[in-house]
Chains A and B, each alone.
Chain A
Amino acid sequence: MSVHRSREERDLDVSLFNDLYCQHHQVLYAYLLGRCSNRDVAADLLQETCLRLWRHIQELRIIPEERRRYWLFAVARNVANDYHRRRGVRERHEAAQPDRDLADGAGDSTSRLEQAESATAVDVAMQRLPEDLRTVMTLRFLAEMTSEEIGQALGRPAGTVRYQIAKARRRLAQELHLVQGITSEESATA
C-alpha cells in the first residue's frame, strides 16, 4: 500500500500543470477579467482556478488535449460565479462599491495628457459594457481568440460571438465619440 504518491507521479503532475498553465493562463485571465473587470481580482481568481486545477490534475490526464481548455474554462466560470455570489452577498450588506480598476483615475483626468485621457476613456468604456459583451471583447482583444474559439469556450455559436463583438465595438465607438448618434433599436437593446 502506498502511503504517499510516488515522486514520479508528482513530477508528472507538476509537468502537466506547468504545460497547462503556460498554454492557458492568458486566456483564462482574459476571461476572468471580462467577468469581474478588475485586474487584481482577475489575478486572484486565476490563482483560485489554478488551485482547483491542481485538485483535479489526475482527471485531466484522461481528458483529450483539445478538450482541456474547455474544462479549464468551466472551472474558471465556476470560480467567477462564486466570486459574483460572494460579492452579491457582501453588497447587500454594504454600500455598493463598483470595481474601479479598469477605470483607475477616471474622475481626475482633467489635467492629463491627451493620450492618457483617451486611455482612461477606453478603460471606462470597456468597464461600462455589459458583462457578456465585455467578456467576448477581452477574449478577442486580450487573449486574441477567434470567434469560433470564443464560442466554444463560452458555449455559444460563433455567429452570436461575432454579433456581440460588433455590438460591443459600436457601443465603444459611440462611448468614445468616434461616431455620432445611436439608433432607437440599439437603445432598446442596450
Chain B
Amino acid sequence: MIESTYEVSLPVEVEHELDALLAGWAQRQALPVVRAEAIRQEALRERQLGDTELTYEWWSHFFAGVTATIRRTADVRSYLPAVA
C-alpha cells in the first residue's frame, strides 16, 4: 500500500513553512508582465504578416485555372503529330 504512506501529512508548521517557500518560488518564476506583453505583440506581428496571404478560395480558383491550362496544353500536343 504505497498510497497510504502519503496519507500521513506533514506537521502543520512544516506545511506552513513549505507554503511560504513555494509562494516565494512562484513569485520568482512568474512570467514578467513585460515579457508576457512582448510575446503577445510578437504573435500579433507574425499574424499581420500572415494576413497578406491569399485565401484558400483564391488559391483553389488559381489552381483550377492552372490545371485547366495544363490539360489544354496536353490536348494541343496530342494534335501536333496529326497537324505535322
Query: Which A positions have Cβ atoms within 8 angstroms of B?
Result: 1-5, 10, 13-14, 17-18, 21, 25-26, 29, 33, 39, 42-43, 46-47, 50-51, 53-54, 102, 118-119, 122-123, 126, 137-138, 141-142, 163, 166-167, 169-170, 172-173, 176, 178-179, 183, 185-186, 188-189
Q: What residues of chain B lie closer than 8 Å to A173, measured between beta carbons?
A: 10, 14, 18
Q: Scan residues 18-36 of chain B and give those whose CB is less than 8 A from a CB of chain A.
A: 18, 21-26, 28-31, 35-36
Q: What residues of chain A lie closer than 8 Å to B9, measured between beta carbons?
A: 166
Interface of A is mostly: helix
Interface residue B75 (Cβ < 8 Å from any Cβ of A)? no
Cβ of B10 and Cβ of A169 under 8 Å apart?
yes
Task: Given A54-B47, A179-B10, answer yes or no on A43-B29 (Cβ-Cβ < 8 Å).
Answer: no
Cβ of B36 and Cβ of A4 under 8 Å apart?
no
Task: Given A1-B61, A14-B44, A179-B11, answer yes or no on A119-B28 (Cβ-Cβ < 8 Å).
Answer: yes
Expressed in whole angstroms, the Cα–Cα distance for A54 and B22 within the complex equals 34
Cβ of B43 and Cβ of A50 under 8 Å apart?
yes
Interface centre among B6, B36, B57 (most CB of A within 10 A): B6
- Least Cβ distance of A105 to chain B in Å? 12
Cβ of A25 and Cβ of B40 under 8 Å apart?
yes
Q: What residues of chain A lie closer than 8 Å to B39, measured between beta carbons?
A: 25, 43, 46-47, 50
Q: What residues of chain A lie closer than 8 Å to B36, measured between beta carbons?
A: 25-26, 29
Q: What residues of chain A lie closer than 8 Å to B10, measured between beta carbons?
A: 169-170, 173, 178-179
Interface residue stretch chosen among B48-56, B66-74, B76-84: B48-56
Task: Given A25-B40, A26-B31, A119-B24, answer yes or no on A54-B46 (Cβ-Cβ < 8 Å).
Answer: yes
- Least Cβ distance of A69 to chain B in Å? 17
Q: What residues of chain B lie closer than 8 Å to A26, measured between beta carbons?
A: 30-31, 36
Task: Given A21-B40, A176-B21, answer yes or no on A10-B3 (Cβ-Cβ < 8 Å).
Answer: no
Contact of A138 among B6, B29, B40 (CB under 8 A): B29
Given contacts A5-B51, A47-B39, A138-B29, 12 further A-B contacts (CB under 8 A): A3-B54, A17-B43, A18-B40, A21-B40, A25-B39, A39-B29, A46-B31, A53-B43, A122-B21, A169-B15, A185-B2, A189-B2
